[in-house]
Structure 1
Amino acid sequence: MFAGCSGVKKLLDYLITSKTRIKLLLKFFLNAEARGYLRSLAEEFGESTNAVRVELNRLTEAGLLEAESEGRTKVYRANRGHALFEDLHNIVKKYIGIDQLIEEVLRKLGNVELALITGDYAKGIDSGIIDLVIVGGVDKGYLQVLVEKAEELIRRKIRILILNRQGFEKLKGKFEEENALVVWNQLK
């Protein structure tokens, strides 16, 4: 197993020398619901459309991405049917450190019914801030200690929103609309 997310990050940086390709893999394989088109991706990544086009073409030719036309626009998304989809999804989670976040924070808190990643990471954007929604009863003091440890491990800021089930039910539609990424589900 790799030595934390920094080990995976270093490994990916050696294996995949194109920063644009890494950004595309993060975008499409962190949350399989993510979709994007050339110009929006170039703007989001702060890259030229040519650089993004080259990588989109490579990933599409490899079968990792699917492209479909919507009018005059070509829209891309992860190919969930590809044999490597789950492996890439897991690698991306390790790259960002979500696997360690789950291990370090959620498993030790006790009564966590549901946990969602929202915001930029749910959209596949590595902004350095992970927005985590936790549904359940937790010890907030202990949570803060665990979050600080997890932040050191994954080298990212974690923002937490704690909700009871009723609060979650009120916001559920918003989370579905945003394609929030479920990372823990113990709802009965």
Structure 2
Amino acid sequence: MRRAGKPGNDKRESPKFIICSMLENLFGSKTRVKLLNLFFDNSESCFYIRGISREIKENLNSVRREVINLEELEIIKSVPLDSLDLPEIERTKEAREKRKYYQVNKDQLLYNELLNLITRAKILADKELLEKIKLEKGIKLLVLSGIFVGNQRARTDILIMGSVDKNKIKRLIGGLERDLEHPLRYSIMSQSEFNYRNVMTDKFLFEIMESKKIVVLDKRR
């Protein structure tokens, strides 16, 4: 007889499981969801099928099938070998192996909508952990950038301003990294450092605050 679990312990009730299931139903398969995350998180990068299989830890044939599907939908596109920044010896090797590279297609009509959907899904899936960070004592500003808004060039993914326990924040962000299966860059500033950088129009801070971002918490006023 199957033993009943404690209320709330069923993984199927977790926000991450629910969101992942929704995306799988929407996009057709777990492999396709992983592929979309990989390509949209790394919009400037190119990938080949065997490398993708290793990266997302999925069966090679499943990856090949879903890559073909995404290319037919024009969500990703093949990239000519000549356009890649590879040493000549590598270029010759790649050509000999007839390796085909793919990249997300930013010209696709629904690119921005798909990017927003994938980004929002990640945030919803990790809402509980974000809430824990948000409720940490001393935080006055919590901003999501970088991976959370599809900006690969951003120099940080999370900006925290306030007087906080850095070790606890590190543990919480470690939980986010495990859930997202992606490393996160984060920056912690005291209020005095933030104010000084703001007055000096510090380039790092200016880029975060003036670029696309998600403000989770703002207690500056």
Same fold (TM over 0.5): yes
1:185, CA displacement in angstroms? 1.9
Match of 1:34?
Answer: 45
Distance between the aligned counterparts of 2:60 and 2:151, measured in 1?
Answer: 23
Secondary structure at the aligned position of 1:40 is classed as helix
Distance between the aligned counterparts of 1:140 and 1:57, measured in 2?
Answer: 47
Distance between the aligned counterparts of 2:73 and 2:106, measured in 1?
Answer: 13
Match of 1:156?
Answer: 179
Structure number with greater Rg is: 2
Identity of aligned residues (%): 23
- Assess, with a 3 A threshold, how the Cα gap between structure 1 residues 115 and 140 changes in structure 2: closer, same or farther: farther
Which structure has the highest strand share of the two? 1
Match of 1:178?
Answer: none
**CA-to-aligned-CA distance 1:110-162 (integer Å, 9 cap, x gap):** 456884449xx998xxxxxxxx65456423149958x95xx69x993896743
Contact between 2:52 and 2:63, CA under 8 Å: does it hold in 1?
Answer: yes
1:75, CA displacement in angstroms? 1.2
The unaligned stretches of length 5 or more in structure 2 are 1-14, 82-90, 194-206, 212-221
- The alignment covers a number of residue pairs equal to 155
Pick from 18, 25, 30 the counterpart of residue 36 of structure 2: 25
Match of 2:163?
Answer: 139
Contact between 1:31 and 1:122, CA under 8 Å: does it hold in 2?
Answer: no
Residue pairs, 1:121-140, within 5 angstroms: 133-135=157-159, 137-140=161-164
Contact between 1:65 and 1:76, CA under 8 Å: does it hold in 2?
Answer: yes
- Assess, with a 3 A threshold, how the Cα gap between structure 1 residues 187 and 94 changes in structure 2: closer, same or farther: closer
**CA-to-aligned-CA distance 1:24-75 (integer Å, 9 cap, x gap):** 1111123422321111011112233322111111111111101113152311
Distance between the aligned counterparts of 1:15 and 1:112, measured in 2?
Answer: 31
Match of 2:121?
Answer: 95
Structure with the larger RCO, 1 or 2 (CA within 8 Å, 6+ apart): 1
Match of 1:75?
Answer: 101
Length-normalised TM-score, structure 2:
0.51
Distance between the aligned counterparts of 1:122 and 1:187, measured in 2?
Answer: 13
Length-normalised TM-score, structure 1:
0.58
Match of 2:209?
Answer: 186
* Aligned Cα root-mean-square deviation (Å): 4.5
Q: Which AA in structure 2 matches 1:57? A: I
- Assess, with a 3 A threshold, how the Cα gap between structure 1 residues 91 and 60 changes in structure 2: closer, same or farther: same
